[in-house]
């Protein structure tokens, strides 16, 4: 019993249970769910598909976790930043038979744009002390418009084959590239956070910025950096998303991804009120969301009806995770225990 | 002298922000009048069209203002408007219900929707952003579940409501061809202005309105004052759900149809309107009149861009973002000045 208690109090217990439930449901429905095969030299199967499609979300969720933890606010501009940085890269690469400028240069410039966007958000939140949601609402509103300005309102296509690598497969490597990128981002973030004191700094700023300031931490700078990092993550996700469709569609790239990213953070057991956080939790949250979508698609739910079922599951999950609900359950349990104890005495 | 002092007091802080919003609206209007005066920009009908095309936004922004004042947020209203339009169209065209029954049913739906969201936020203490995110997904999915095709409303009662023009007989203007015209508004505008007026009174002069501000300012203090923050929040979300469905009705009077993508992103417009109108997302501060003018500012920018003719519609969003930026920085500067003043006061 004690062991069970210890297990349920473990931070990632509930997020993992949620993911396991979704996967278990699939296993019962279609036993072939966990099969992974190699077709045409690449990995193939439901699980690979889930991981592959959740890559962008995982990357976004990593950045979002940091923002939420440091500033108790959400960055709702990540979807727009994805579109903007993607538009910049595709515009620079041009739609000729060869790249107009080297691939790596275009990607780097796109990422620089995304970091600049993140820094702008960070400046507003950290230095100007504007509520994060309002501050990022500015880029949320303008970002896609700016992307449209760059593309001239058209969908631009890149015709060079190697542009597909980032969103598809590298030659001779069976694992989809987005998965590799996501893994690299998560590992780098974890190493950076845990091997240095950064995680501790971010958490303490998130719990109490003023106290951290008095303690000698530069709260403003830390919040600023988390937003810049979030921008970078959005940029990376944007690169993958544009490479997947080898074009930029400024209206639809990363559309509503910011909401999924925030959801991933919350499903991962992180409080949206800031403070303590777990990147691993957010990653699990992101995979859960994608697993859920894939499951529903497999059950022949159409894309536009999908949100309905997603909403029901989300509400159930957050209700189960809510402290008030747990308190209520505990109260019932205590009552029952008191009753049985009373009966025993009698 | 006392009068000057009174105005000065009003202009200090949030009153000033509201004044800036109202002045900005008129500056934009005058700018439009100077630039496009030769193309009838100054005709009373163009001014009233601001209300006609933004009636839904005004109602939604008022509901949003209530929620924001309590320190919460509701990002589900765009989807609620979408589902309300779809439900109205479906009930009248597919199920052949009468218009009145359909309208009452969607309003009841809005109240129930708000009740559930309010319960989750107030009693289970789940973050409003997540709850209403769920609400947003739910309503949008429900819209698609009802019908993935567009349904146009042809119900005669509804159409006569939608096309019912209220003429201002006492104003006469001349159009391009020199024909005398009376400006008019639609029913949706009357609803929107009524909502603004009633909400203004509720927020300003009722116990409930005071409680909304108290809860948003500091929940702990409100509790110690003997208020019940949970009930207040629940009521606010119910009110907002009702207003969202009412906004959907007003929206539907304009669009006369339902489709899945309708009013997508509308919640952000409503939030932007409220913020431009001086409402703080941290709660405790906000006015309904500000949100009204915030909505109208969006309308006037759209109108100017339409009159300009060559700029694409996404310029509207860029300009609104710039305005948002201007206002949030202004708010932030004001906040820091006030904090400094408070700190000085404490030292004295």
Residues B27-74 pLDDT 10s: 999 999 998 888 888 888 889 999 999 999 999 999 999 999 999 999
A-contacting residues in B 114-133 (Cβ below 8 Å) = 120, 123-127, 129-131, 133
pLDDT number for residue B12: 57
- SS3 sequence, chain B? CHHHHHHHHHHCCHHHHHHHHHHHHHHHHHHHHHHHHHHCCCCHHHHHHHHHHCHHHHHHHHHHHHHHHCCCCCCCHHHHHHHHHHHHHHHHHHCCCCHHHHHHHHHHHHHHHHHHHHHHHHCCCCCHHHHHHHHHHHHHHHHHHHCCCCEECCCHHHHHHHCCEEECCCCCEECCCCCEECCEEEHHHHHHHHHHHHHHHHHHHCHHHHHHHHHHHCHHHHHHCCCCHHHHHHHHHHHHHHHHHHHHHHHHHHHCEECCCCCCCHHHHHHHHHHHCCCCCCCCCCCHHHHHHHHHHHHHHHHHHHHHCCCCCHHHHHHHHHHHHHHHHHHHHHHHHHHHHHHHHHHC
CB contact under 8 A, B127 and A273: yes
pLDDT number for residue B264: 81
pLDDT digits (tens, 9 = 90+) for B260-273: 888 888 888 899 99
Higher pLDDT, B126 or A88: A88
pLDDT above 90 for A155 = no
Q: Residue A137: its chain B contacts at CB < 8 A?
A: 268, 271-272, 275, 324
Mean pLDDT score, A287-297: 88
Residues 6 or more apart whose CB falls under 8 angstroms from that of B241 comprise B80, B110, B111, B112, B113, B114, B115, B117, B118
Q: Which residue of B has its CA nearest to A318?
A: B126
Mean pLDDT score, A181-196: 94
Say yes or no: ipTM exceeds 0.85.
Answer: no
pLDDT number for residue B43: 86
Interface test with A, best of B130, B234, B294, B322 (most A CBs within 10 A): B130
pLDDT above 70 for A7 = no
Q: Output the pTM of the full model.
A: 0.85
Q: Which residue of B has its CA nearest to A133?
A: B281
pLDDT number for residue A226: 95
Mean pLDDT score, A89-96: 89
Domains of chain A are 41-318 (1.10.3470)
pLDDT digits (tens, 9 = 90+) for A248-284: 888 888 888 888 898 899 888 888 888 889 999 999 9
Percent with pLDDT over 90 in chain A: 40
pLDDT number for residue A6: 67
Residue ranges of chain B whose pLDDT lies below 70: 1-14, 346-348
> What's the whole-number average pLDDT of chain A?
88
CA-closest candidate to residue B276, choices B291, B259, B260: B291
pLDDT number for residue B284: 85
Dist CA B182 CA B167 (whole Å)? 6
Of the ranges A8-12, A102-106, A334-338, B104-108, which one carries the lowest mean pLDDT score?
A8-12
pLDDT number for residue B330: 83
pLDDT number for residue B234: 96
pLDDT digits (tens, 9 = 90+) for A202-220: 999 999 888 888 888 899 9
Candidate ranges A35-39, A48-52, A105-109; pick with highest mean pLDDT:
A105-109
Q: Residue B280: its chain A contacts at CB < 8 A?
A: 131
Confidence at A316, pLDDT banded by 50, 70, 90: confident
Q: How many CB pairs under 8 A join A and B?
A: 135
């Amino acid at each position: 019993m004690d062991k069970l208690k210890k297990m349920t109090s473990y931070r990632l217990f509930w997020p993992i249970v949620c993911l396991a439930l979704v996967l278990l449901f699939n296993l019962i429905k279609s036993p072939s769910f966990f099969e992974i095969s190699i077709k045409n030299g690449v990995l193939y199967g439901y699980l690979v598909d889930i991981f592959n499609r959740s890559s962008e979300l995982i990357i976004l969720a990593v950045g979002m976790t940091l923002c939420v933890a440091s500033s108790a606010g959400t960055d709702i501009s990540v979807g727009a930043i994805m579109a903007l940085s993607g538009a910049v890269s595709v515009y620079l690469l041009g739609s000729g038979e060869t790249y107009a400028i080297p691939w790596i240069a275009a990607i780097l410039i796109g990422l620089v744009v995304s970091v600049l966007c993140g820094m702008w958000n960070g400046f507003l939140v950290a230095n100007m002390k504007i509520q994060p949601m309002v501050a990022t609402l500015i880029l949320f509103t303008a970002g896609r418009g700016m992307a449209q300005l760059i593309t001239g309102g058209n969908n631009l296509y890149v015709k060079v084959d190697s542009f597909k690598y980032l969103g598809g497969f590298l030659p001779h490597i069976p694992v989809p590239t987005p998965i590799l990128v996501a893994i690299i981002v998560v590992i780098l973030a974890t190493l950076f956070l845990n091997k240095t004191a950064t995680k501790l700094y971010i958490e303490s700023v998130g719990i109490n910025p003023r106290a951290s300031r008095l303690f000698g931490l530069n709260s403003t700078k830390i919040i600023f950096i988390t937003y810049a990092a979030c921008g970078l993550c959005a940029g990376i996700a944007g690169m993958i998303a544009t490479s997947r469709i080898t074009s930029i569609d400024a209206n639809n790239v990363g559309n509503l991804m910011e909401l999924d990213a925030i959801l991933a953070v919350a499903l991962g057991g992180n409080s949206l009120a800031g403070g303590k956080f777990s990147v691993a939790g957010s990653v699990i949250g992101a995979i859960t969301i994608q697993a859920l979508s894939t499951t529903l698609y497999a059950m022949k739910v159409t894309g536009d009806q999908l949100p309905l079922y997603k909403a029901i599951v989300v509400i159930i999950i957050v209700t189960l995770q809510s402290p008030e609900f747990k308190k209520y359950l505990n109260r019932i349990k205590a009552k029952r225990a008191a009753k049985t104890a009373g009966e025993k005495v009698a | 002298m006392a009068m000057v002092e009174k105005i000065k007091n009003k202009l200090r802080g949030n009153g000033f922000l509201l004044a800036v919003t109202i002045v900005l609206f008129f500056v934009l209007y005058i700018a439009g009048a100077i630039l496009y005066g030769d193309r009838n920009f100054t005709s009373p009908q163009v001014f009233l069209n601001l209300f006609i095309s933004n009636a839904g936004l005004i109602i939604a922004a008022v509901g949003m203002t209530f929620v924001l004042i309590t320190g919460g947020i509701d990002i589900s209203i765009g989807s609620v408007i979408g589902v309300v339009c779809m439900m109205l169209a479906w009930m009248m065209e597919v199920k052949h219900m009468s218009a009145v029954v359909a309208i009452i049913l969607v309003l009841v739906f809005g109240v129930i929707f708000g009740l559930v969201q309010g319960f989750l936020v107030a009693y289970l203490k789940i973050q409003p952003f997540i709850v209403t995110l769920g609400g947003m997904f739910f309503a949008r999915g429900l819209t698609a579940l009802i019908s993935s095709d567009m349904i146009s409303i042809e119900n005669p009662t509804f159409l006569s409501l939608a096309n019912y023009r209220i003429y201002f007989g006492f104003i006469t203007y001349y159009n391009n061809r020199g024909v005398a015209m009376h400006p008019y508004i639609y029913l949706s505008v009357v609803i929107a202005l009524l909502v603004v007026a009633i909400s203004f009174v509720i927020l300003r002069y009722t116990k409930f309105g005071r409680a909304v501000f108290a809860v948003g300012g500091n929940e702990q203090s409100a509790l110690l004052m003997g208020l019940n923050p949970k009930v207040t929040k629940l009521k606010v979300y119910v009110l907002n759900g009702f207003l969202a469905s009412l906004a959907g009705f007003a929206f539907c009077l304009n669009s006369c149809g339902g489709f899945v993508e309708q009013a997508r992103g509308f919640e952000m417009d409503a939030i932007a309107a409220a913020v431009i109108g001086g409402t703080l997302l941290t709660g405790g501060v906000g006015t309904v009149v500000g949100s009204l003018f915030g909505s109208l500012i969006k309308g006037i920018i759209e109108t100017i861009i339409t009159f300009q003719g060559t700029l694409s519609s996404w310029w509207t969003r860029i300009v609104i973002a710039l305005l948002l930026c201007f206002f949030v920085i202004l708010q932030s500067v004001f906040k820091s000045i006030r904090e400094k003043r408070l700190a000085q006061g404490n030292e004295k």
